[in-house]
Amino acid sequence: MSGLLAHTEYITITTKARYAILDITDRVEELREKAVLGDGFILVSTMHITSSIFVNDRESGLYQDIMAWLEDLAPRRTDYKHHLTGEDNADAHLKRMLLGHQVLVPVTTGALDLGPWERVHYGEFDGCRPKRILMKAIGVKA
Amino acid sequence: MSGLLAHTEYITITTKARYAILDITDRVEELREKAVLGDGFILVSTMHITSSIFVNDRESGLYQDIMAWLEDLAPRRTDYKHHLTGEDNADAHLKRMLLGHQVLVPVTTGALDLGPWERVHYGEFDGCRPKRILMKAIGVKA
Amino acid sequence: MSGLLAHTEYITITTKARYAILDITDRVEELREKAVLGDGFILVSTMHITSSIFVNDRESGLYQDIMAWLEDLAPRRTDYKHHLTGEDNADAHLKRMLLGHQVLVPVTTGALDLGPWERVHYGEFDGCRPKRILMKAIGVKA
């Protein structure tokens, strides 16, 4: 048992397309190194309500499957009630809930403790503008 | 690095309707103040399996969109196998999984570290009776 | 306030069927006892991208409802782009996101702090081979 380390950083992502999936695992590892976290968690959480953080395979075909699936389950349409406010992104609010908005990345013996195919992804559903992601490390020093 | 603070409280919510969405962000902030949490997380987790905790916009049109969407993807029907036990709420068990049942709210420099539109919500899908939500603060004192 | 305990273990599950739901709550409690965790969290996170960890009722009828519902929303099909890699399990990658891949189990006064019907489950969507689950306890000693 030892004292608690808490270290927080924010990264900003601006995608070129309205819809996009990006592997951000290396950014999480950078934070771990900077925080010198040896054992604990890193919370990765999007600060916007039209994007996601999720863990899945880094594979471009799967990215296409995910986007087609999200469009099927939560289609971009004009007739959402939310659009009465002047917004046009209700589908993004729904899509983001299917994948989730945050992930806890475990850290053990000074390394991200992920399975061989686990990669942390950012899912954007209303892009082309800067979006912030919070990363907070909690645990004990390496 | 400093010692660990752990503080847990439970709140009870009884909705008037079977289906409801409530913004509970102020309740999370109350816990943070009471726990005097400076840096860390607050876990907000429903203790019932027919309700959700999720983060999204506080906007009544979107609430209607979310409920219509959940009903579309996980409709209230009579013919679920779970109903052979005498229950009638299988749809609530499914709806709650689409939105998730818990959220980690980051706390930094003595404040909830949320994006400008992020609000913590309780989603009820089998209401009209008391439901408990656990809130547990972990981290270091302010 | 006191020092931080961090304790990590891995369990391996090999299901007999391709699709399966298993209650693993007792395994989480075993970890809590071994870690002598008094207050904090246990992260339960599957290390594979074709399986889930989720909280719901331990009820066999509901398990059937969940599996039928997942098949309806994310069907097993041959024409996923992901299958161009030689894989045949794209549906598992999607199903696992509907239920989520990790859960934080709160621990208070030396016990799992779950509601009366909350049980931690492992959902397998591409089984018949060994899969690992990470369990990490963080908090203070009992």
Q: Residue A1's pLDDT is what?
A: 43
Interface of B with C (CB under 8 A): 2-6, 8, 43, 45-49, 73-74, 80-85, 90, 93-94, 96-98, 100-102, 104, 132, 134, 136, 138, 141
Alpha helices in chain B (DSSP H): 25-35, 60-73, 90-99
Is residue C128 within 8 Å of C14, Cβ to Cβ? yes
A88-120: burial string, b at 16+ Cβ within 10 Å, e else:
ebbbbbbbbbbbbbbbbbbbbeeebbbbeebbb
Q: Do B57 and A83 touch (CB under 8 A)?
A: no
Separation between Cα atoms, residue A126 and residue B9, nearest integer Å:
36
The model's pLDDT over C30-74, given as tens digits with 9 standing for 90+, comes to: 999 999 999 999 999 999 999 999 999 999 999 999 999 999 999
- Give the CATH number of domain C4-141: 2.60.120.460
Q: Residue A3's pLDDT is what?
A: 74
User: Which residues on C lie below 8 Å from B9 (Cβ)?
Assistant: none
Nearest to C85 among A1, A59, A99 (CB): A59
For A136, the closest chain B residue by CA position comes to: B106
Separation between Cα atoms, residue C63 and residue C124, nearest integer Å:
12
User: Which residues on B lie below 8 Å from C61 (Cβ)?
Assistant: 80-85
The model's pLDDT over A46-66, given as tens digits with 9 standing for 90+, comes to: 999 999 999 999 999 999 999
CB contacts < 8 A (A, C):
91
CB contacts < 8 A (B, C):
91
Can you read off the two tokens belonging to residue C109? 């006064």
Q: Do B98 and A97 touch (CB under 8 A)?
A: yes
Q: Do B47 and C114 touch (CB under 8 A)?
A: yes
Separation between Cα atoms, residue B15 and residue C138, nearest integer Å:
34
Q: Do B1 and A93 touch (CB under 8 A)?
A: no
For C19-68, strand residue ranges (E) read 20-23, 37-46, 51-56
Q: Residue A46's pLDDT is what?
A: 98
| Displacement of CA B112 from its chain's centroid (Å) | 16
Q: Residue A2's pLDDT is what?
A: 56
User: Which residues on B lie below 8 Å from A97 (Cβ)?
Assistant: 54, 56, 66, 98-100
The model's pLDDT over B3-59, given as tens digits with 9 standing for 90+, comes to: 789 999 999 999 999 999 999 999 999 999 999 999 999 999 999 999 999 999 999
Q: Do A62 and C90 touch (CB under 8 A)?
A: yes
User: Which residues on C lie below 8 Å from A139 (Cβ)?
Assistant: 4, 6, 138
Q: Do A97 and B56 touch (CB under 8 A)?
A: yes
**Structural element, H or E, at residue C94:** helix C90-99
CA angle, residues C83, A98, A55, in degrees to nearest 5? 60
Q: Do C49 and A3 touch (CB under 8 A)?
A: no
**Structural element, H or E, at residue B132:** strand B131-141
| Displacement of CA C131 from its chain's centroid (Å) | 11
Average pLDDT over residues B95-101: 98
Separation between Cα atoms, residue B106 and residue B90, nearest integer Å:
32
**Structural element, H or E, at residue B90:** helix B90-99
Is residue B125 within 8 Å of B89, Cβ to Cβ? yes
Q: Residue A80's pLDDT is what?
A: 98
Q: Do A132 and B115 touch (CB under 8 A)?
A: yes
For C100-142, the three-class secondary structure string (H helix, E strand, C coil) is CCEEEEEEECCEECCCCCCEEEEEECCCCCCEEEEEEEEEEEC
Can you read off the two tokens belonging to residue B99? 């939105």
For B56, the closest chain A residue by CA position comes to: A49
Separation between Cα atoms, residue C21 and residue C125, nearest integer Å:
9
The model's pLDDT over B54-92, given as tens digits with 9 standing for 90+, comes to: 999 999 999 999 999 999 999 999 999 999 999 999 999
Separation between Cα atoms, residue B127 and residue C26, nearest integer Å:
29
Q: Residue B3's pLDDT is what?
A: 74
Q: Do C49 and A118 touch (CB under 8 A)?
A: yes
The model's pLDDT over A24-47, given as tens digits with 9 standing for 90+, comes to: 999 999 999 999 999 999 999 999
Is residue A13 within 8 Å of A131, Cβ to Cβ? yes
Is residue A93 within 8 Å of B68, Cβ to Cβ? no
Task: Please give, rounded to a whole number of angstroms, the shortest distance from the CA of A6 to a CA of chain B.
Answer: 7
Average pLDDT over residues C85-89: 97
Separation between Cα atoms, residue A19 and residue A69, nearest integer Å:
13
Average pLDDT over residues C12-16: 98
For chain C, the chains sharing at least 3 beta-carbon pairs closer than 8 angstroms are A, B
- pLDDT range class, residue C2, cuts 50, 70, 90: low
With a cut of 60, say whether residue C1 has pLDDT above it.
no
Q: Do A94 and B69 touch (CB under 8 A)?
A: yes
**Phi/psi-derived region of residue B127, left when phi > 0, alpha when psi is between -120 and 50, beta in every other case:** beta
Is residue C64 within 8 Å of C123, Cβ to Cβ? no
Q: Do C101 and A55 touch (CB under 8 A)?
A: yes
**Structural element, H or E, at residue A91:** helix A90-99
User: Which residues on C lie below 8 Å from B80 (Cβ)?
Assistant: 61-62, 65
Q: Do C117 and B49 touch (CB under 8 A)?
A: yes
Read off the pTM.
0.98
The H helix count followed by the E strand count for chain A is 3, 8
Q: Residue C20's pLDDT is what?
A: 98
DSSP for C72-93 reads HHS---S--GGGGGT---HHHH
User: Which residues on A lie below 8 Å from C6 (Cβ)?
Assistant: 39-40, 139-140
Q: Residue B1's pLDDT is what?
A: 43
DSSP for A16-58 reads SSSSEEEE-HHHHHHHHHHHTEEEEEEEEEESSTTEEEEEE--
